[in-house]
Amino acid sequence: MPELDVVPHQYADWTPVLGWGIALIGLAAVAAAATGLVKAVTGNPIPYEVKQRLEEKYGYWAVKTAIGVCPHDDIRCIEREAARLYESRILRR
């Protein structure tokens, strides 16, 4: 009578180990992606003191818009964009 084993006998002992190994690698990749996403969402783009100083100088709206437009941690870009937005708002009045 022929045997109906799907996995040959020499690999039968390693199949669960291989399955768990692939599952753990997949879970580690998902955890790394989730960690990066959480840091990106909750991260502080500029220090609080710098943000307060810029808000006093250019206004809350200009600084928030500049933070949304500029790359993360680029304080010079944020200050330059906030100044541009502030000046454009003042000149339109």
Q: Are 67 and 89 members of one domain?
A: yes
Q: Are 35 and 52 members of one domain?
A: no
Q: Are 31 and 64 members of one domain?
A: no
- Of 43, 58, 77, at which residue does a domain stop? 43
Q: Which has the higher per-residue pLDDT, 6 or 19? A: 19
Q: What is the number of domains present in the chain?
A: 2
| Structural domain harbouring 84 | 45-93
* pTM beyond 0.85, yes or no: no
Tell me the per-residue pLDDT of 18-75, one tens digit each, with 9 for 90 and over.
889 999 999 999 999 998 888 777 777 788 899 999 999 999 999 999 998 988 788 9
Nearest to 52 by CA among 44, 71, 92, 84: 44
Q: Are 21 and 31 members of one domain?
A: yes
pLDDT of residue 82: 94
Q: How far apart are CA 82 and CA 70, in angstroms?
A: 10
